[in-house]
């Protein structure tokens, strides 16, 4: 997570994430699921600007018309949580420039919450460590602690137990974001816990070794079939990606975004152009809307 201190405030760039591996291990008593997942931050960013508010209030402004800026927003909740736990009485004006699609499996809300904790910690000079901020973030959402351990991490529990990983090399990806989102809770309701879960050992090693071909072979998401069952319209996007023959492809999180793993930037450009031009669609009645073109991103370092 990148940030800059300016004379009148703090700017934070909040990255999206993709899941290269996601296994569901068990249903928990608290209604969550026990999971194991390998997450990687990518170069698609929301931007958050933080400035002092003399009244002590938290004011949130956003350029996305469909996103609530009320107390239910994770940004507002993160700011109020930091005030409460540190005893800080200072306020903030927060401006969010939204680029990460909503309900897309890219953790846009979680990364914004993490950026808020980090940005206000710096603005208010609260002095909390990244570890302490990650612990606070776990109270807001399962994915929030990951963003204090980027660029890559192995996450367990409900996703909040984070072990950082070193990437052996850059990963070029093309994100395909359909013009609709997914409800995470609904997808998890559809999932069946496997008797013999995948361990993820091979893909963890491949990521650390920078072995792109092995990473592509080992991509896995237990939620993908559940998401496609709940929303059959997703299948067309997966099929179109497959026709372009990337090194690997997968649904990120609970969807709706798929990503393609590419061997290079040039390969990512070829694949994104293929998506834009509808290569391989022919007369296929299940071809997706061409408006959902590819977004080229790179793993963050």
Pairing of strands 161-165, 172-176: unpaired
Examine the residue annotation and report whether 63 is marked as an active-site residue of this protein: no
Q: Please, are residues 107 and 184 in contact by the beta-carbon 8 Å criterion?
A: no
Active-site position among 46, 98, 112, 143: 143
Residue 229 in contact with residue 78, Cβ under 8 Å? no
User: Distance between CA 174 and CA 184 in Å, rounded?
Assistant: 22
Report the distance separating Cα 138 and Cα 60, nearest Å. Answer: 21
Token reading at 299: 């793993």
Q: How far apart are CA 173 and CA 171, in angstroms?
A: 6
63 CB-contact burial (10 Å; exposed 0-12 / middle 13-18 / buried 19+): exposed
Reply yes or no on whether 98 is catalytic: no
Give, in order, the Cα–Cα distances in Å from 274 to each of 9, 174, 269, 271, 278: 42, 11, 8, 5, 6
Kindly give the residue spans of alpha helices, DSSP state H, lying in the chain.
Answer: 74-86, 108-123, 130-138, 184-190, 201-209, 212-218, 223-230, 235-243, 265-277
- Choose, from 8, 17, 30, 281, the residue flagged as catalytic: 17
Active site residues: 17, 143
């Amino acid at each position: 997570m990148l940030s800059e201190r300016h004379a009148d405030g703090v700017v934070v760039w909040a990255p999206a994430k993709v899941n290269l591996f996601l296994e569901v291990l068990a249903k928990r008593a608290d209604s969550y699921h026990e999971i194991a997942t390998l997450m990687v931050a990518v170069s698609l960013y929301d931007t958050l600007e933080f400035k002092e508010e003399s009244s002590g209030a938290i004011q949130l402004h956003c350029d996305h018309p469909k996103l609530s800026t009320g107390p239910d927003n994770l940004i507002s909740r993160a700011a109020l949580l930091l005030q409460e736990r540190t005893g800080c009485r200072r306020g903030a004006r927060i401006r969010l420039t939204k680029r990460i699609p909503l309900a897309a499996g890219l953790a846009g809300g979680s990364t914004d919450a993490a950026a808020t904790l980090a940005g206000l910690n710096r603005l208010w000079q609260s002095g909390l460590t990244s570890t302490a901020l990650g612990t606070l973030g776990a109270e807001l959402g399962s994915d929030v602690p990951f963003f204090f351990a980027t660029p890559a991490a192995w996450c367990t529990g409900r996703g909040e137990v984070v072990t950082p990983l070193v990437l052996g090399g850059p990963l070029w990806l093309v994100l395909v974001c359909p013009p609709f989102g997914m409800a995470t809770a609904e997808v998890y309701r559809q999932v069946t816990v496997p008797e013999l879960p995948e361990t993820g050992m091979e893909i963890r090693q491949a990521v650390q070794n920078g072995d792109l071909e092995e990473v592509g072979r080992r991509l896995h998401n237990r939620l993908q079939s559940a998401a496609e069952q709940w929303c059959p319209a997703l299948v067309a996007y997966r099929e179109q990606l497959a026709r372009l023959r990337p090194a690997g492809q997968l649904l990120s999180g609970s969807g709706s975004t798929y990503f393609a793993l590419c061997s290079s930037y040039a390969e990512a450009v070829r694949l994104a152009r293929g998506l834009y031009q509808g290569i391989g669609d022919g007369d296929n009645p299940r071809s997706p809307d061409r408006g959902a073109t590819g977004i080229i991103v790179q793993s963050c370092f």
